[in-house]
Amino acid sequence: MNYDSKRLERYQLVTINVPAGSTVRQWYFPDQPDLRDAIIQHISAYHADLVSLSPQNLTVISSADLCNAYMVLNIGEKEDIKIPLNNFIVLGEPISSPIYNVNGYIPLADLHIHWSKSYIQFAAPYAATQFQIMFGVFYKN
C-alpha cells in the first residue's frame, strides 16, 4: 500500500557532512533557512547504491551505514520523532537494492521541524572517510 497521497509543493535537498576521522555518533543538521517556517510533508533518504555522488561531488553514505542510523527530529522543542533512517528510503528494487519502504513515503503530519536541533545518530562513530548524508525534503510554506 502506498499511504501517502500528498502532492509535491516544494522540494529541497539537505545534506549533512561527516568529515574523515570523526569520532562522534550524533550529526546535527545544518541550519536550513529556507525550511525554517516550512511545513514538512515527507522526507526521502538516499544512499550510495542509489546516488553515489552528491551535487558537491562528495561520496554519499553507504547503504550499510545508513541502516545503522536513526533520525531524531525536534518538533516544538521536543524530540517527537526517533525513527530508523532506512524507513525513509523509497527508491529501490527487490534484488540489487532491496532496502526500501514498501509503503512508500511516510506521510508526516505537516510538521514544523527545528532543523538545527535535529540530528542523525549512528550506532558507532565513523572514522574512515568523508561522506555526506543526503535527504530530500518535500514541504510547503
Partner 1 sequence: MQLTNYQVAKYDTISVPFPALSGQTKIMFPDQPQLRYVKTFGIELPAMNFDINGNTALNCLTTYLAKSYVTLYFEGKEGCYQMPLLELKSTEAPAGAGINNIRNVNGLITFNGQKIVWSKCYITLANATPFGSNSVFIFGVYYNN
The only residue of 38, 40, 43, 54 in contact with partner 1, by rule CB under 8 A: 54
> Contact, 136 vs 46, CB < 8 A?
yes
Per-position x/- string for 80-99, each x denoting binding to partner 1 as judged by CB under 8 A, each - no binding: ----------xxxx-xxx--
> Contact, 93 vs 102, CB < 8 A?
no
> Contact, 121 vs 26, CB < 8 A?
yes
> Contact, 134 vs 46, CB < 8 A?
yes
The only residue of 81, 85, 101, 131 in contact with partner 1, by rule CB under 8 A: 101
DSSP label at residue 135: E
> Contact, 105 vs 44, CB < 8 A?
yes
Residue 52 binds partner 1, judged by CB under 8 A = yes
Stretch that binds partner 1, among 48-56, 66-74, 76-84, 112-120 (CB under 8 A): 48-56
CA angle 129, 84, 75 (to 5 degrees): 105
| CB proximity list for 62: less than 8 A, separation 6 or greater | 47, 48, 49, 131
Min separation Cβ 71 and partner 1, Å: 18
The only residue of 105, 115, 122, 131 in contact with partner 1, by rule CB under 8 A: 105
4 vs 21: CA distance, rounded Å = 39
Choice between 72 and 91, CB closer to partner 1: 91
Choice between 97 and 121, CB closer to partner 1: 97
Residue 50 binds partner 1, judged by CB under 8 A = yes
Binding site for partner 1 (CB under 8 A): 2, 4-13, 44, 46, 49-57, 90-93, 95-97, 100-102, 104-105, 136
